[in-house]
Amino acid sequence: MAHTISAPAPGPTDDVIILGGGLAGLFCALRLAPRPVTVLAAAPIGQGASSAWAQGGIAAAMSPGDSVEKHLADTLAAGAGTVDEAIARLMVGDAAARIHDLLGYGVPFDHDLEGHLALSREAAHSERRIVHVRGDMAGAAIMHALVDTVRKTPSIRLIEGYIGETLLTDGKDVTGIVARPTPGGSPVTFPAQAVVLATGGIGHLYAVTTNPPESEGAGLGMAARAGAVIADPEFVQFHPTAINIGRDPAPLATEALRGDGATLINAAGERFMLKVHPDAELAPRDVVARAIHAEIAAGRGAFLDCREAIGAAFPEHFPTVYKSCLAAGIDPVAQPIPVAPAEHFHMGGVLTDANGRSTLDGLWACGEASSTGAHGANRLASNSLLEAVVFAARVAADIGEHRPVGELMRPVVEPNGIGVADPEAVSALRAIMSADVGVVRDADGLRRALAAIDDLAVVDGSTRFLNMRTTAKLIAAAALARTESRGGHYRADFPEADPAWRRRTFITLAEADAIAAGAGAGQTVAA
């Protein structure tokens, strides 16, 4: 069985450290077996991961009428011109194999009466290709199966309740990681032959998000501070239909509801998406999010109406959403669900190649913490879990081929320090990001955000908050530099796409600092 401990063991540590206990981290650890691996997770594995909350499922071209080429075409279209086509082709081409891997780990994907995988359709997909579990429980079921398998795998050592803070470097070589027990305590240095960042997204840099609290951009901040190149940080996807009941995190009304015919209405009962986009409720997420944002800003409100399309079948077909609605006193069988956009997924992250390698030797990244180029400016629905398993497997293969098992090294407990981020500073940062680096942006707001971010003090030397602030600065700086609107990045002062910007963003922390110092005037980022 996997070794599960709450503090570093007195003996030697393993030579591969995976930071993150979500889908990407656990899948990578399993693919590395029987090589010894240590997984450091901020929460008990599976519990602090966005993967566990994913309702839609995994996209894979597995039906008779579908094809890898069709899946690729949909991915390219959603990505708004900045998808790395070679990477996306690799991802969708590996989809079926990774689904079979997950079946082998015991994931109970839904099947039809003939025993074939049941496939549903989501927004911007041209075919039914979403593999799911009980309608809206795919993420939880996948994580349950993987956690169970990981805990039975002797080569995987789990250290839960540790937050990664700093990457150790020797020149451009990453030689280990410093992590700290939560909610505070003495930092511990873990030397390593290879470090894999699988730290998830950035949701809790925003005041309204569907992500778990552990999604605070830590991996991206750590990598940037160590000198790694960051890609596409300005592209932030806001899920159009978070359930608007004042909860943090906000519960999600899955896109599959609209795929099954649910409509968006305002308080007057008007179906407003019909005049916004030819695909109406199944338009790309950024289009739907801005339309809902506009209805709310105009005082008309926004609601997801499932009464006719789903009706009495709601409790059985979408039990997770149904439970969230009932907890808020809403019966979705008979009442429209109030919705609002919420930060949901980050297309940006640590720049990686096809094998998950970053620009620093010894550092790999996978899952939402990485930016492979597969999503471009706007992720296609249910490609996120697919990307996590495809590239986690490639990371494991690359480490196995190029990083032989080295001398096992002992973790070192460092002098004490402060690890808890100041709650007031965190709240202020989240308010800044939502107000000025959110669904709709402009130059004045982005300059205001950069100045305010720099003014936030890192109280008591909290490295955890320093990582959050670093990631926020990278997002705002890249958003200020990109003087156009594309995908998940919308500038009210530059509302159209500019062909000159039909490219990815590659940026370092030093370049973000320069953009912030220059108030964005004339600044650009490397492409």
Q: Are 395 and 366 in contact (CB under 8 A)?
A: yes
Confidence of residue 299 (pLDDT cuts 50, 70, 90): very high
Q: Which of 325, 342, 359 is the last residue of a domain?
A: 342
Percent of the chain with pLDDT over 70: 92
Residue 219 lies in a domain: no
Q: What is the pLDDT at residue 183? A: 76
Distances (CA, A) of 382 to 130, 132, 339, 342, 366: 7, 10, 20, 17, 16
Confidence of residue 51 (pLDDT cuts 50, 70, 90): confident
Q: What is the mean pLDDT of the chain?
A: 90
Phi-psi region of 299 (alpha: psi -120 to 50; beta: other; left: phi over 0): left
Is pLDDT of 424 > 50? yes
Averaged pLDDT for residues 447-467: 89
Residue 10 lies in a domain: no
Is pLDDT of 206 > 90? yes
DSSP symbol at 28: H
Give the separation between CA 35 and CA 517, rounded to whole angstroms.
46
Q: What is the pLDDT at residue 39? A: 95
Q: What is the pLDDT at residue 522? A: 40
Confidence of residue 255 (pLDDT cuts 50, 70, 90): confident
Q: Roughly what angle, to the nearest 10 degrees, separates helices 384-402 and 138-151?
A: 30
Residue 321 lies in a domain: yes
* Residue 209: strand pairing partners: 343
Q: What is the pLDDT at residue 521? A: 41
Residue 475 lies in a domain: yes
Instruction: Considering only residues 494 and 12, tell me which one the structure prediction assigns the higher pLDDT.
Output: 494
Q: Which helix (H) or strand (E) holds 338?
A: strand 337-346
Averaged pLDDT for residues 213-225: 95
Give the separation between CA 265 and CA 141, rounded to whole angstroms.
32
- Of 312, 237, 251, 27, nearest to 153 (Cα)? 27
Confidence of residue 12 (pLDDT cuts 50, 70, 90): very low
Q: What is the pLDDT at residue 523? A: 46
Instruction: Considering only residues 414 and 42, tell me which one the structure prediction assigns the higher pLDDT.
Output: 42
Residue 205 lies in a domain: no
Q: What is the CATH number of the domain that holds 445?
A: 1.20.58.100
Is pLDDT of 460 > 90? no
Confidence of residue 416 (pLDDT cuts 50, 70, 90): low
Number of domains in the chain: 2
Q: Which of 299, 318, 342 is the last residue of a domain?
A: 342
Confidence of residue 471 (pLDDT cuts 50, 70, 90): very high
Q: What is the pLDDT at residue 226? A: 96
Confidence of residue 519 (pLDDT cuts 50, 70, 90): low
Give the separation between CA 328 and CA 514, rounded to whole angstroms.
46
- Of 482, 463, 219, 467, nearest to 360 (Cα)? 219
Residue 510 lies in a domain: yes
Averaged pLDDT for residues 260-281: 96
One domain for residues 241 and 332: yes
Is pLDDT of 418 > 90? no
Is pLDDT of 13 > 80? no
Tell me whether residue 180 is one of the annotated catalytic residues: no
Give the separation between CA 506 and CA 493, rounded to whole angstroms.
23
Tokens (6 digits) for 296: 């709310």
Averaged pLDDT for residues 94-118: 92
Q: What is the pLDDT at residue 185? A: 79
* Residue 131: strand pairing partners: 58, 119
Q: What is the pLDDT at residue 11? A: 43
Q: Which of 273, 307, 342 is the last residue of a domain?
A: 342
pLDDT digit string, tens, across residues 305-351: 999 999 999 999 999 899 999 999 999 999 999 999 999 999 999 99
Is pLDDT of 172 > 60? yes
Q: What is the pLDDT at residue 395? A: 98
The range of the structural domain enclosing residue 291 comes to 236-342
Residue 287 lies in a domain: yes
Q: What is the pLDDT at residue 383? A: 95
Distances (CA, A) of 325 to 284, 308, 479: 25, 17, 35
Is pLDDT of 83 > 60? yes
Burial class for 392, CB neighbours closer than 10 Å (0-12, 13-18, 19+): buried
Confidence of residue 2 (pLDDT cuts 50, 70, 90): low
Residue 248 lies in a domain: yes
Q: What is the pLDDT at residue 9? A: 53
One domain for residues 240 and 338: yes
First-to-final CA distance of the chain: 46
Q: What is the pLDDT at residue 220? A: 97
Q: Does the model's pTM come out above 0.85?
A: yes
Averaged pLDDT for residues 358-362: 97
Q: What is the pLDDT at residue 123? A: 75
Give the separation between CA 36 and CA 16, rounded to whole angstroms.
7
Is pLDDT of 466 > 90? yes
Give the separation between CA 272 and CA 287, rounded to whole angstroms.
12
Q: What is the CATH number of the domain that holds 282?
A: 3.90.700.10
Averaged pLDDT for residues 216-239: 96
Instruction: Considering only residues 410 and 250, tell me which one the structure prediction assigns the higher pLDDT.
Output: 250
Of 31, 285, 379, 464, the active-site residue reads 285
Least trusted range by pLDDT, from 26-30, 181-185, 248-252: 181-185
